[in-house]
Amino acid sequence: MLTKLKFFTYAFTKFRKKSWRQKLLYFYITGLILGIVILALYAFIPSLIFCTPIFGQQVCTPAGILLALVLSLPGYLIAGNLLQFLPELAWGISLVVIIVVSAAFYYLSGWLIDQKLEKKLSTSTFSKYLILFVFAVLVLILISLI
């Protein structure tokens, strides 16, 4: 029991020392894998669904799909708006593009946090980057609603 505790303590301290770029990327990849596992378990445990009212209607979806969709939302907002102009694109290619764009989004978000924590960015520069970042996300959300 003590060796297992030491392993988890070692793994936690090793993970804590990683940069935020790596942490957010690991979080995204782990979330996608967990979503696939939950989706595979859905075949055996049909109660693994998540129901929510959207626009006055009850919408239910397997929890694994919901987890993967929520984590990949940056990719859907960025790449989804660009992929709509490409006719007849295979679903596998668009899936890979969305996953890569989401991973890049999490990596760049972690880079911004790392730059601030390492004091390479002044507060005003960090605020400018953050405002541009939030503005870009809001513009992409607006484009996706059109």
Tell me the mean pLDDT per 10 residues along the chain, length 146. Answer: 60 65 90 93 89 82 89 85 78 89 89 80 79 81 71
How far is 34 from 115, CA to CA, in rounded Å? Answer: 29
Q: Where are the domains of the chain?
A: 17-145
Q: Tell me whether residue 110 is exposed, middle or buried, using C-beta atoms within 10 angstroms of its C-beta: 0 to 12, 13 to 18, 19 or more.
A: buried
The sign of the torsion formed by the CA atoms of 15, 21, 25, 28 equals positive
Six-digit token string for 129: 């980057």
How far is 34 from 28, CA to CA, in rounded Å? Answer: 10
pTM of the model: 0.73
Query: Hey, which residues does 61 pair with through a beta bridge?
Result: 50
